[in-house]
Amino acid sequence: MEISSQIPWSTIAAVISWYSSNIGVLLLNKYLLTNYGFAYPVFLTLCHMTACSVLSYIAVSVMDVVPFQSIQSRTQLVKICGLSVVFCFSVVCGNISLKYIPVSFNQAIGATTPFFTAVFAYLVSRKREAWITYGTLVPVVAGVIIATGGEPSFHLFGFLICVSATAARAFKSVLQGILLSSEGEKLNSMNLLMYMAPIAMVVLLPAAILMEDKVIWITIEIARNDIRVVWLLLFSSSLAFFVNLTNFLVTKHTSPLTLQVLGNAKGAVAVGVSILVFKNPVSVVGMMGYGLTVIGVILYTETKKRYRL
C-alpha cells in the first residue's frame, strides 16, 4: 500500500517542515555563534522573539491560522508573564550553550527533558508516576553521563548552561499545565506564543544591553562591513517562528504519542546532520551514551502511557 493512502500528505509536509525548521535553526544558530563569530546569544534570542511576536500576530490575527483567543483576566496575564520569563531563560541558555558545545552534545543533553519534567511535576504538584516509569529514567540520565564522559568537545560551562536550558524547558511545560489548566484559561500554542513573545522581548532588551555591551551598535557596524549578518539573523529568527508553527501543525495532525516518537527521531537526525555539517569529533562511547538516552526516553514514553496512577 502506498504511503499516501496511509498518511495524509499534509501531515507528511508538516513533519518534514518541523524537522527542517528545528534542525535548521539549531545549525544556523551554531554557525552564527561560533563559525561566523556573532557571539551575542541574548541579542540573537531577542531577534527570535521579535520575529515570533510579529509573525505569530500575523498568523493568528490576520491569516486566521488558528482562532484568536483573548486574555480573560489580569490573573491569566500574570501567569503568562511568569511563563514568558521561564521560556526566555530556557531559550537564552540554549543559545549560550551552542557557543561552547556541539549541536550533537546539545541534543543529547536536551533528550533528558522527560527526567526534569518528572522531577518538577512531583516537586511542584506532587504528581507521581508508576515506579516502573521512574525506572525508565535511569537509562535517560545514565546515557547522558556516558555521553559526557565520551564527549571530545566537552566544555563544563556549556554543559551546565545546556542542562539549565533543558531543566527550564521542562519547568515551563509543568508550569503551563498547572497555571493554564482551567478551561477558561487554556490557550493553544500559537496564541500562547503570540502573548509570550512580546513579554520576552521586554525582558530580553535590557538584558542584551546590560550583558552584551553595545551589541546593537556592534551589529550595525558588522552589517556595514558584511550585510550577510542581517540576512542570517532574519533567516534564523524566521526559522525560530516556524519551529513553533510547525510544532503546532504536527501536534494538530498527529497524536501526542506520535509527537513524542517524532521528537525522539528528530533529535537523532539533528545529531547526524550537525556532525556532517560541522564535522565535530565524536566518540563511540559518546554515541552509545546518546543512544542509551534515546532508548530510555522511548521506554519512558511507553510506560507513562501504560502505567498511569
Distance, in Å, from the CA atom of 193 to the CA atom of 245, rounded to the nearest integer, reads 10
* Percent of the residues in the chain that have a pLDDT greater than 70, as a whole number: 94
- b/e for 127-143, b at 16 or more Cβ within 10 A? eebeeebbebbebbeeb
Residue 233's nearest CA partner among 89, 90, 35, 29 is: 29
Distance, in Å, from the CA atom of 184 to the CA atom of 59, rounded to the nearest integer, reads 22
As a whole number of Å, the CA-based R_g of the chain is 19
Residue 191's nearest CA partner among 201, 175, 205, 180 is: 180
Cell numbers 500554542 correspond to 189
Cell numbers 542542562 correspond to 163
Cell numbers 512531583 correspond to 122
| Mean pLDDT value across residues 6-23 | 85
Q: What is the pLDDT of residue 189?
A: 86
The torsion angle over the Cα atoms of residues 68, 69, 71 and 72, rounded to 10 degrees, is 130
Reported as a single tens digit per residue, the pLDDT across 227-242 is: 999 999 999 999 999 9
Distance, in Å, from the CA atom of 219 to the CA atom of 292, rounded to the nearest integer, reads 41
DSSP tag of 275: H
Q: What angle do CA 176, 106, 49 make, to 5 degrees?
A: 50
The pLDDT-based confidence of 279 (bands split at 50, 70, 90) is confident
| Mean pLDDT value across residues 54-78 | 92
Distances (CA, A) of 188 to 35, 180, 212: 36, 10, 34
Mean pLDDT of all residues in the chain?
Answer: 89
Distance, in Å, from the CA atom of 172 to the CA atom of 169, rounded to the nearest integer, reads 5
Q: Is the pLDDT of residue 154 over 60?
A: yes
Torsion sign (Cα): 70, 256, 198, 16 = negative
Distance, in Å, from the CA atom of 66 to the CA atom of 88, rounded to the nearest integer, reads 24
DSSP reduced 3-state for 150: coil
Residues 6+ positions from 186 with CB-CB distance below 8 Å: 180
Q: Is the pLDDT of residue 2 over 50?
A: no
Q: What is the pLDDT of residue 308?
A: 63
pTM of the predicted structure, to 2 decimals: 0.88
The length of the chain, given as a count of residues: 309
Least reliable range by pLDDT among 53-62, 87-96, 160-169, 185-194: 185-194
Q: What is the pLDDT of residue 257?
A: 59
More confident of the two residues 305 and 160:
160
| Mean pLDDT value across residues 93-118 | 92
Q: What is the pLDDT of residue 224?
A: 95
| Mean pLDDT value across residues 112-121 | 90
More confident of the two residues 262 and 50:
50
Residues 6+ positions from 277 with CB-CB distance below 8 Å: 27
Torsion sign (Cα): 176, 178, 184, 186 = positive
Q: Is the pLDDT of residue 5 over 50?
A: no
Q: What is the pLDDT of residue 267?
A: 83
| Mean pLDDT value across residues 163-169 | 95
Q: What angle do CA 47, 25, 7 make, to 5 degrees?
A: 130
Distances (CA, A) of 110 to 127, 166, 226: 22, 5, 33
Distance, in Å, from the CA atom of 264 to the CA atom of 178, rounded to the nearest integer, reads 25
Q: Is the pLDDT of residue 225 over 90?
A: yes
Q: What is the pLDDT of residue 167?
A: 95
Q: What angle do CA 272, 296, 283 make, to 5 degrees?
A: 40
Q: What is the pLDDT of residue 96?
A: 95
Least reliable range by pLDDT among 5-19, 36-50, 234-248: 5-19
Reported as a single tens digit per residue, the pLDDT across 233-267 is: 999 999 999 999 998 888 777 766 566 677 777 88
